Every structure is written in structure tokens, then in C-alpha cells.
Amino acid sequence: MSMALELQNLSKRYGRKWALRDWTMKLPTGHVVALVGPNGAGKTTLLQLAAGLLKPSAGEVRVFGCDPHKQTREILPRVGFVAQDHPLYKRFTVADLLTMGRKMNPRWDQRIAEERLTMLDIPLQQRAGKLSGGQQAQVALALALAKRPDLMLLDEPLASMDPLARRNFLRVLMGETAEHGLTVLLSSHIIGDLERVCDYLIILSDAHVQLAGDIDEIIRTHKRLVGPRTLAAAVARIHDVIEERHGERQTTLLVRINGHLFDQSWEMHDVTLEEIVLAYMGQLAQYQRMETIPMPLSMRDGFPCEESEERIRRETPR
Amino acid sequence: MIEFHLDERSGVPPYLQIVQQVQQALRLGLLGVGDRLPTVREVVEQLVINPNTVLKAYRELEHQELVVSRPGQGTFVIRTLGPVSLASHATLRRSLTRWLENAREAGLDEESIVALFNATLWESRLQESEGTA
């Protein structure tokens, strides 16, 4: 299987602060990956490293087997990148931007850009700076798609769009993914809108990967349990407890199950992806109160997993 | 051509909803042998979902030998499903009613009954998937 993205002990530091720390991962082509986490978690840093805009402080990043920072000639035509503030040349008209795209990109597809902008009622003679924030985001995406990339990196693409624009945007992105086997890595604060369109989830916080894996698998293996408080410790010995709340007698747990079945004392409920994301982020908040360093929790082969699971069990406050 | 829809709140994974909707259409005669399923792109754009979800559903239908995918042409129905026998429905329903009576006698309220059913369903699914793995 060919790899869109390979990270080997990837680390990035700004001054004394680590933005990403020791991350190893392989991402096969054709996935649509949601990269979620709070502000300052390292999402933008990862996307910029993959686009070759930043150089790693340690370790390496490979895009389709090449170093994106050094082998720009090979990589740039294959990567589409839309930054968070979707920068456009504000004084250029939309038509000027299309001309620029066509002259600078060998694989340029004028038809897809024009079709998309017509569908969105964005006038080609308008200056980019006069468009609304949502429209600018749509223009930036249209330009990135027309480039016909194999890997699309999108930093908070939905932030400035209304619900209808989001749906249109995701529809086009999914259509292109189905047609051309595009690999997509997109970052977001929230997962709600992305649950149906992504098949892979990476939860990043405080420079570390908290959870990474196939979304169906993540949903299948996480459950909420309600049962007697006295039995909570027994559950924690077998399963990974991500979140726990205790009442006087009753305990509510969010666990990652490890294959074994539960006894009848526990009532089991499905959880949404959003609840899972929030639980992992909440776990981080607990760590920070304890002033310990969070360790990455692995979901699958190919992800960092040294001592993580044991450690999370031991250090989760009871 | 069949058009899919997704129930966001059912708790059934999207790929399985697509599988079930094809099975249901086959049972009801809305889809027949030789009919083409929508292309992956068509489903993806209609439902705004991940292409791999659709591929997974179509693979599952192929595995059940209900459809076959012909490269460059599409995915076609090759076998149809007979309607579920109403007779077996009635028998199952009677034994379920008896089971519900027993559960109420044992002191379970409706929520515990649902919870117990869901937990058992989940366990049997897990055992099944371990069996096939």
C-alpha cells in the first residue's frame, strides 16, 4: 500500500516550546483524516510541516516518499494547502487568481475551478478582498482543487462558513476524493460536522497524539458504562478508562474496551465520536492539573505506543 | 435507481445502513437482478459521506453475493432476496412476548430490558466478528 504521509519521530520546536513531539505515523493514501484538538495543540504545525513550509526540529516527514521541505519540485504539484486564514491576493480579481493558478500549476484544471465558482455564484470580476470571509474560503478551496492535488491539507476549512456552505464544501471534497482517490488531512476544533466525511481520526493536544485510528474502529471500541461504584476498579484493570464520574453509589465510565465482555452489572451505551473526542481532551485537562506530561495513547499498529496504555491507567486520578 | 438516506441518530454505522437499505429494497422488489447501484461518487455527493463508507457497504454486499462490481461499468444486482417469511416473524414475536413477560416478572423495567437487549446484541455481534476474524 502506498503511503501519503510518513512521520518518523517528528518533532518541531519554537524556541523552548515543543509544538509537536516525537510522532511516528504512517498514513496510507485515500483516507480522509480529521485532525482535532484545542488551540495550540500542534495541528497547524503538522499541516505546515507536511506542506514543506516548515522544517522539522528533529525526525522526518515524508509526503509520497519525498521530503516536502527539500524536494519541493516533486512535491508541490501534488499537494494542495489551504491555510487557516485562506490567504488570497486581495487586490486580484477572482479571474486573475484563476489565471495565476493556471500559469503556475502543471496539472491545473480550469473547468473544475470555474464550475465550482459559478455554482457558488461568486462573480469572477470581483476583487478577492471584497468577498465575504466564507466566499474567500470557497475561492481558496476552488483554487486548491483545480490544482488536482493528490494530498489536500486544509487548516480549519469550515471555520468561516455557514452550515449550507459547509455542506457544499464537504460534498465537493468528497466527490473529488471518490473520483480521484485524493487523500485529505483537515484540522478542526470540533468533530460534529466531520464525523460522516472522515474515516480516520487523530486527536492532538499539547504537542502529543492522544488517539489515532480508524473512526469505525474507535466508535466500536468505546462505550459508556453505568454501574455500581464498587466495581469501577475491576473494569479499570481490564479496559482503558478514559473518563469517569462517580455518584454516591453509581459510576459512569467512558472506556476503550479490550475485547473482554462485561458482567451484567454494567449497563452499556454507545457513544458519539464527539463524546469520545471531548473525553480524551478532558483527560488531558486532568493531566495538566496533576502537572504530569501526557503520553500518547496508541490505537493501531504504526502509532507511538511506548508505555502509554499502562501509564494512562495508572495516572488517571480516581 | 435506489436512493439512500442516513439516520444520524440510529446508532447503526452508516455503511451498515446502506447495506440494510439494499437488502430491504431487494426484499420489497424495488431492486431486481441486473439493476445498477449508484456509483460511489453519486452516493458520496448525495449523502455527503466518506467514499470508503460506500466502498465498505458495496464490498459487504459483494461478500453476501448480492451484487457484483464490473470495473468501468458499475455495481450490479445478481441475486434478489425473498420476502422475509411472515410465519417465522409470528413465531419469533410470540417467543419474544413470552421473554418480555418473564423479564417483567423478574422485576426489570423497560429501560433495563432495552439495556439488556442491547448489551446481548452487542455481545453476540462481537462473538460473531471474532468467529469470522
A191, pLDDT greater than 60 = yes
Smallest CA–CA distance from A267 into chain B, residue: B115
Residue A142, SS3?
helix
Smallest CA–CA distance from A257 into chain B, residue: B126
pLDDT for A300 equals 34
Amino acid at A21: R
Say if the Cβ atoms of B112 and A267 lie within 8 Å. yes
**Which burial class, exposed, middle or buried, applies to B130 when counting CB atoms under 10 A from its CB (0-12, 13-18, 19+)?**
exposed
Percent of chain A's residues with pLDDT above 90: 38
pLDDT for A67 equals 94
CB A209 within 8 A of CB A203: yes
A8, pLDDT greater than 80 = yes
A226, pLDDT greater than 70 = yes
Q: Looking at residues A305-313, what average pLDDT do you find? A: 39
A309, pLDDT greater than 60 = no
A310, pLDDT greater than 80 = no
Task: Identify the segments of chain B with pLDDT beneath 50.
Answer: none
Mutation target for A interface from B5, B12, B44: give the one with most A CBs within 10 A: B44
Helix (H) or strand (E) holding A81, with range, is strand A79-82
pLDDT tens for residues A109-167?
999 899 889 988 899 999 999 998 888 888 998 999 999 999 999 999 888 788 888 88
Phi, psi (deg, nearest 5) at residue B44: -60, -45
CB B41 within 8 A of CB B49: no
Alpha-carbon gap, residue A210 to A187, rounded angstroms: 15
Percent of chain A's residues with pLDDT above 70: 87
pLDDT for B126 equals 75
Alpha-carbon gap, residue A144 to A136, rounded angstroms: 12
- Taking each helix axis as running N to C, give the angle between helix A133-146 and helix A163-180, from 0 to 180 degrees, rounded to the nearest 10: 0
Mutation target for B interface from A116, A167, A174, A265: give the one with most B CBs within 10 A: A174
* Residues of chain A neighbouring B40 (CB-CB closer than 8 A): 178
pLDDT tens for residues A43-97?
999 999 999 999 999 999 999 999 999 998 889 899 999 998 878 899 999 999 9
Q: Looking at residues A298-305, what average pLDDT do you find? A: 36
Say if the Cβ atoms of A261 and B123 lie within 8 Å. yes
Alpha-carbon gap, residue A240 to A232, rounded angstroms: 11
CB A88 within 8 A of CB A140: yes
pLDDT tens for residues A194-206?
888 999 999 988 8
Q: Which residue has the cell 429494497?
A: B25
Per-residue confidence at A316, pLDDT binned at 50, 70, 90? very low
**Among A208, A198, A195, which Cα is nearest to A275's?**
A195
Q: Looking at residues A28-36, what average pLDDT do you find? A: 93
How far does A255 lie from chain B, in Å, by closest CA?
A: 15
pLDDT for A262 equals 65
Phi-psi region of B38 (alpha: psi -120 to 50; beta: other; left: phi over 0): beta
pTM above 0.90, yes or no: no
pLDDT for A318 equals 41
Q: Which residue has the cell 440494510?
A: B20
A230, pLDDT greater than 90 = no
> Higher model confidence: residue A192 or residue B68?
B68
Q: Looking at residues A213-238, what average pLDDT do you find? A: 88
Alpha-carbon gap, residue B35 to B78, rounded angstroms: 8
Per-residue confidence at A302, pLDDT binned at 50, 70, 90? very low
**Among B76, B56, B65, which Cα is nearest to A215's?**
B56
pLDDT for A303 equals 36
The listed range with the strongest mean pLDDT (A111-115, A188-192, A303-307) is A111-115
Q: Which residue has the cell 459510576?
A: A251
Smallest CA–CA distance from A219 into chain B, residue: B13
